[in-house]
Structure 1
Amino acid sequence: MSDSLNAQMRDEIDDQVAEAFDAYLAGRLAEPGPLRTALATRRSAGVVLGTISLGTLATALAPATVPVVCWIWGAIAFVDTAWLLTARRH
């Protein structure tokens, strides 16, 4: 009996956590930001998605060392951030 009670309590807690997380995400998505602005204008979304796609390809082809992968994704983060900030100004 206690096992079924524990399972029911876990299910109820899981449902409550999922609902709270959904509410949190809905609130965060409603906030303005550079990525949301870029997606709304559709000007920069292609550039951001393109750099992420190229980064994924570069990561797959790069030697499996941590510094190489960090440089690849660091460069992508820099380019995307600069592009989004530039898009926000226009």
Structure 2
Amino acid sequence: MSSSFVAYIDESGDEGFTFLDDGRGSSRWFVLSAVVYRRPADLSAVAALKAARATLGWAPKKAFHFCDMRHEHRRVLLNEVAKTPFRTVSILS
């Protein structure tokens, strides 16, 4: 039986568990998030990323790393993704 949803999952946080009194060190949060599409709409996610890369003049396989992107680039990416029918799920620990 095939699934009816596709989830793209990413994590954020540092498993180093180095917590210093001055606030430096590892994040106190571990975040696991997913962008979830119904299977028939999955290709809209691929098309959105392709459109964002084209708008930005990036190579077709260039990865999106939000922390390395300038604000203008983030807006292009988010504007394209926002046009697609998705839901999000996040777990913060």
TM over 0.5: no
Q: Report the TM range for the smaller structure's normalisation.
A: 0.3 to 0.5
Larger Rg: 1
TM superposition score normalised by structure 1: 0.34
The structure that is helix-richer by fraction is 1
The structure that is strand-richer by fraction is 2
